[in-house]
Amino acid sequence: MFISWMINVGLMVSILFTVVDCTCNNLPLTNGNWWDSRVNKAITINTGTVTDGWGFSINSQQFDTFSCTISDDSRWVFRSDNTIELLFGANYYAFYCLQYTYLTDNSYMYYVQSDIEQFNGERVYLVDTSSANNNSVEAYCSPDNGRSGPDIREYHVFVKENTQNSVHQNQYFPDPLLGVFSYTVNDGSNTFCGAESVWDGCYDTSNSIDRTTVILNYTQCSTTLMGAVGGKLYNVANVTESGSTYYVILINADGVDPIFTCLAVSQSGNTRYISTNPGGCAWNQTSTSRTGNADSVLITMTAYETCLFTTTTSTTTTTTTTPAPTTTGVTLEADTKASENSDGSNTGVIVGVVLSLLLLIAIIVIAFLLYQKYFKKRKAHIQHMTLKDQGPDIKRPLPPDSDFTLSELNLKREPTMSDDLVIDSLSPRGKALPMERVLSRASAPYETQSSQRNYL
Ligand SMILES: *[C@@H]1O[C@H](CO)[C@@H](O)[C@H](O)[C@H]1NC(C)=O
Ligand SMILES: *[C@@H]1O[C@H](CO)[C@@H](O)[C@H](O)[C@H]1NC(C)=O
Ligand SMILES: *[C@@H]1O[C@H](CO)[C@@H](O)[C@H](O)[C@H]1NC(C)=O
Ligand SMILES: *[C@@H]1O[C@H](CO)[C@@H](O)[C@H](O)[C@H]1NC(C)=O
C-alpha cells in the first residue's frame, strides 16, 4: 500500500518532469565539442549553452554565446546570451530555431527554421527584447518573410567530435553513389583525374558492402578531395529533392578541415554528376554547377560497376525488415515542410520518462529505508491513509525502451545485413563483368530500381 502511494507520487513527479522538458533541460547535445556543418568546424557545448563556435557580429557588435531556452519534441530554440543595439535604443537577441532529427547517438541533422536575416544573409532571427520572452517554441520557429523557411537541401548535421568512425553506420548512400567509378574533378579553371582514377563506393568490410564509405585511390589520381587526406569519406546523412537529385553530407575520416562536404548528386545512365560545397549544401545547389563557394568543384563520374548485393538463400526476417527507402525513419523525401523532421520527436519525452523513473526508484528506495528505520511504529496509521486514498489502479510507467517509435528502432538497430550478404559480383576494375546486369542497373530510371535491389 505504502509502495503504491509512492508510485502515485512518482507519477506526479514524472508528469512534472515532462513539463520541465520544454525548457531544454534534456538537450541531447552532450557537453564537449560537436562538429557543426553550418559553421563547418567544432562548436563547444556546456550544459545547453553553445559557448564557442556560433558567434557572429553585426555592425561591429558581437553575439558570442547562445543558450537553449525552450524546446519541444522536434525543435530546440537557442537564444543569444547578450543583446546588441540594432536600431537607436532598440536591443535585439539572436535566435536559432533548430528543427532536428535523430540519426545516431552521436549525430543529428537539423534545419534552421528562421528567415534569412538581411543584416548578415544567414538564417537567424533577430528579436527585440520586448518580444524575447515568449514561452512558445512557435514564436521563434515560424519563418515567413522573403525566401521563407529552408529548402529541403538546406539541412545541417551535428557530429560529436571524433566519432566519424561510428556515425556512418547504417547511414546508407543513395543508389547513384553505390558503385566503383572513374572520375574527373573540375575546380572552375582546371580539370584533374580521369580514366584510371578510382572512387570506390562499394567498400567491403567483413564480406559485406557497408554502403556508407568512399575510398579514393590517390595512387591513381593524387588530387585530395573534400579534405580526405587519407582518401576515405563517410556518409553522415542525405535527403532527396524531387526524387532525382540527392543531397549527401559526407565527413572525411580524418576529421580535418573542411570536415563536412555536401554533394548534390544526379545520375544519367552510367554517368553521375556531382557538385560539392564545403559544410552543408548551398540553398541553390544543383549537381551540374559549382556553388558560390570558391572551393566548390564539379565531379563527373563514370561507373566501372555498381555494387551488386545478393542475399543468401536462407534469407532471414532480419534482412527483410531492413528499412526500404520510402519507409526509412528520416522522412525527408516528402515535399511538405511539416513532415520534414518527424524523427527524434520523442527523444525529449523519453529522456524525461527515464529521468523520472530513476527519480521514482530513488524516492521509493529512500522512502522504504526511512520507513524501515523510523516509521515502523506508525505502520497502522499509514496503512489506514493509503487504504482510504487508494484510487483506481494506476499502471506502472512502461520501461523506457517500449516508448521508442518504430522508426527510431530502425535507426538505432545494429547492422543486420553483414551475415546474410555476399558480394555477388564485385570484380576488380577492368575485369569483364556480366554486362547486361551492370547495364540494366545503370540504364534503368532510378525510381524503378528499388524493385531490382537484391539486398532488401
Ligand atoms: C507567443 O507566441 C505565440 C505564437 O507565435 C503567439 O500566438 C502568442 O500571442 C505570443 N504570446 C505573447 C504573450 O506574446
Ligand atoms: C590504388 O591503385 C594502385 C595501382 O593500381 C593499387 O596498387 C592499389 O592497391 C590501390 N589502392 C587501393 C586502396 O585500392
Ligand atoms: C539516403 O538515401 C537512400 C536512398 O533514398 C536511403 O535509403 C537512405 O536511408 C538515406 N540515408 C539517410 C542517412 O538518410
Ligand atoms: C547561388 O547563390 C549564390 C549566393 O547565395 C550565388 O553566388 C550563386 O551564383 C548562385 N548559384 C546559382 C547556380 O544560381
Cell numbers found for residue 214: 568512399
d(CA 417, CA 45): 36
Considering every ligand atom shown, identify the ligand nearest to the alpha carbon of residue 97 and give its number: 1
Instruction: Find all residues with CB under 8 Å of 244, minimum gap 6, and list them.
Output: 266, 446
Instruction: Find all residues with CB under 8 Å of 263, minimum gap 6, and list them.
Output: 177, 246, 247, 248, 249, 250, 274, 275, 276, 299
Q: Which residues of the chain have pLDDT under 70?
A: 1-22, 145-147, 207, 309-456
The answer to whether the predicted template modeling score (pTM) of the entire model surpasses 0.75 is no
Compute, in angstroms, the gap from residue 146 CA to the centroid of ligand 4.
16
The pLDDT tens digits of the residues spanning 432-453 come to 333 333 333 333 333 333 322 3
Compute, in angstroms, the gap from residue 171 CA to the centroid of ligand 3.
7
Of 283, 288, 191, 210, the residue nearest 253 (C-alpha): 210
Considering every ligand atom shown, identify the ligand nearest to the alpha carbon of residue 127 and give its number: 1
The pLDDT tens digits of the residues spanning 398-437 come to 344 433 333 333 333 333 333 333 333 333 343 333 333 3
The pLDDT tens digits of the residues spanning 30-55 come to 999 999 999 999 999 999 999 999 99
Contact predicate 171/106, CB 8 Å: no
d(CA 59, CA 199): 45
The pLDDT tens digits of the residues spanning 266-302 come to 999 999 999 999 999 999 999 999 999 999 999 999 9
Considering every ligand atom shown, identify the ligand nearest to the alpha carbon of residue 293 and give its number: 4
Compute, in angstroms, the gap from residue 175 CA to the centroid of ligand 2.
24
Pocket probe for ligand 3: among 102, 248, 330, 411, the residue whose CB has the most ligand atoms within 8 Å is 330
Q: Is 292 in the pocket of ligand 4 (CB under 6 A)?
A: yes
Q: Is 136 in the pocket of ligand 1 (CB under 6 A)?
A: yes
Q: Find the helix or strand (DSSP H, E) in which 388 lies.
A: helix 379-389
Is 206 exposed, middle or buried (CB count within 10 Å of its CB: 0-12, 13-18, 19+)? exposed
Compute, in angstroms, the gap from residue 172 CA to the centroid of ligand 3.
5
